[in-house]
Amino acid sequence: MSLAQPNLPYLTKTNILHKMPFHIVLIIITGVIAYSNTFRVPFYFDDYQYIIDSPFTKNLEYFTEPSKALSLTDSLARYTFKTRTVGFLTFAINYKLHGFDVAGYHITNLSIHIINVLLVYWLVLLTFKTPFFNLHPSSLNLHPSPSRLTPYTLRFLYLTPFLLTLLIIPLSLIGIDKPADSLIGDITEAARAKTNISRWDYLFTEFTVVVTYLRLLFLPVNQNLDHYYPVYNSFLNPNVYLSFLILLAIFGLAVYLFYYSKKSSSFNLHPSTFLTPYASCLTLLTLAALVIALSIASYQRNSLWQDKTAFWGDVVKKSPKKIRGYNELGLAYMENGKLPEAVSCFQRALTIDAYSEYSLDIYLNLANALDELGYTDDAIITYKKIIALNYGFETAHYNLGMLYYKKNMFEEAAEEFKTALSLNPLNSDARRNLELLGFSAE
């Protein structure tokens, strides 16, 4: 005896829940609501490098005449323009329309992400319409076994062009017209990911990094802009081999599901086949609850971004061993006029590591904060430390000269201005100050 299927009108194909326009509107509304509190979030982190201080933001000619970018002396700027052309174009258009008003940049960013979500939605619909998901059991059972290969052949032929396009980006970046030894060098450089640690240590550490981001993908809690990852130099470290086992298990599950789907190809694999009306309703409610929960969590997390001090305070709380967070927190305090707190943050960062790649910038920020507080002697000592670390730091020499000038130590000031001018003959401020002091710039 067959069980009667319940009549659930909300599951019928004519119901609005099954209409594509409803889905599109729902996606847009959900995205806008979840990120509605981001439009006044200030610029952060590398926003200054890639938006405010970037030459591409203020000049659209770089996009009408891309060859102009090749004349830039900054190699990093040339490289980023090549790899992020579309992103820089959106920044330039935003700047042309409303300058550095952050709202426009956030609206553009949110629009791009919503469009991407809609494209994923469209891709899912296309996937469910492929022959693989629409095969009827009888159509397979009536054919000899060799014909079972047809869906896989069709999928292979259909996907191959898309898979081949994935090679375009890496090949375009390394340049397929380069000699083989040059290509190997580029690949090696990319594999090292701009780090000084060995490849093995990098690999061991990367296992833990990947697992962290996989965890955030499914359980986005304890989010942090600047995670602290200790460098592991042994595979036998529990954090390393456990992370490796997790990744291996995920890979094994993927292989199992792939082969299992082949064995199950004689069944109708359309998702709706496996769901009873009640199960469909439960699935819908579960997904709705998940979307609502994630939207609320996103909104709450976005609220933290509105206050730089609170945001970077959250970073140093979660990554107390990372100096970058303390530096950014110190800068946030300086913006708010809280100079003693800023000095404390910079000093804390240098206590953790006084010789990192960020140390010069942190020392410079510390010296500026001390100078603003009126601690001129301490600022002078700090600038001398900077020069000891990097004698060729022109800004440090010039600023030290200004501090000597403030203390009426004119000969010492002139020496620093001369050094700054020798490092950068185009430093007109140093030249003018020397002339005011009555010293020759030669």
In three-state secondary structure terms, 121 is helix
- At residue 270, the pLDDT reads 52
Q: Which range, 3-7, 277-281, 382-386, has the best average confidence (pLDDT)?
A: 382-386
DSSP state of 168: H
Residue-wise pLDDT tens digits, 102-142 = 999 999 999 999 999 999 999 988 888 876 555 554 444 44
> How much is the pLDDT for 148?
42
3-state SS class at 110: helix
- Listed in sequence order, the DSSP H helices in 53-136 are 61-64, 75-83, 85-98, 102-128, 131-134
Structural domains in the chain, CATH included, are 308-437 (1.25.40.10)
Residue with tokens 């956030």: 106
Instruction: Kindly tell me if the per-residue pLDDT of 35 is higher than 80.
Output: yes
The predicted-structure confidence for 381-437, as pLDDT tens digits, reads as follows: 999 999 999 999 999 999 999 999 999 999 999 999 999 999 999 899 999 999 888
For residue 271, name the pLDDT band (cuts at 50, 70, 90). low
Whole-angstrom distance, CA of residue 365 vs CA of residue 94: 30
Q: What is the DSSP letter of 72?
A: -
Phi and psi (nearest 5°) for 237? -65, 130
Q: What are 147-194's pLDDT values in tens digits?
A: 344 444 444 555 555 555 555 545 544 444 455 444 444 444 444 445
pLDDT tens digit sequence for 291-303:
999 999 999 999 9
CA pair distance 35, 39, nearest whole angstrom: 8
For residues 297-314, one letter each, b for 16 or more C-beta atoms within 10 angstroms of the residue's C-beta and e for the rest, the string is: ebeebbeebeebeebbbb
User: In this predicted model, what pLDDT tens digit does every residue of 39-57 receive, in sequence order?
Assistant: 999 998 889 889 999 999 9
Q: Per residue, what are the HEC states of 273-336?
A: HHCCHHHHHHHHHHHHHHHHHHHHHHHHHHHHHCCHHHHHHHHHHHCCCCHHHHHHHHHHHHHC
**pLDDT of 16 strictly over 90:** no
197-225 tens-digit pLDDT: 888 999 999 999 999 999 998 888 889 99
Nearby residues of 442 by Cβ (< 8 Å), 6 or more positions away: none
Over residues 58-85, mean pLDDT = 86
* 93-126 burial code (b ≥16 CB/10 A, e <16): ebbeeeeeebebbbbeebeeebeeeeeeeeeeee
Q: Which 8-state DSSP code applies to residue 5?
A: P
CB neighbour class for 411 (10 Å; exposed up to 12, middle 13-18, buried from 19): exposed
Predicted local confidence at residue 78, as pLDDT: 86
> Please, which pLDDT band fits residue 265 given cuts at 50, 70 and 90?
low
Q: Which two tokens stand for residue 117?
A: 């979500």
C-alpha–C-alpha distance, residues 59 and 77, integer Å: 14
φ and ψ at 215, to 5 degrees?
-65, -40
| Per-residue pLDDT at 39 | 94
The Cα 340–Cα 333 span in angstroms is: 9
pLDDT digits (tens, 9 = 90+) for 327-349: 999 999 999 999 999 999 999 99
> Average per-residue pLDDT in the chain?
82
Other CB atoms within 10 Å distance of the CB of residue 369 = 27
Whether the CB-CB separation of 192 and 202 falls below 8 Å is answered with: yes
Residue whose entry in the numeric block shows the structure tokens 């020397």: 434
Residue with tokens 């700047």: 95
Q: Which of the pair, 379 or 73, is modelled with greater confidence?
A: 379
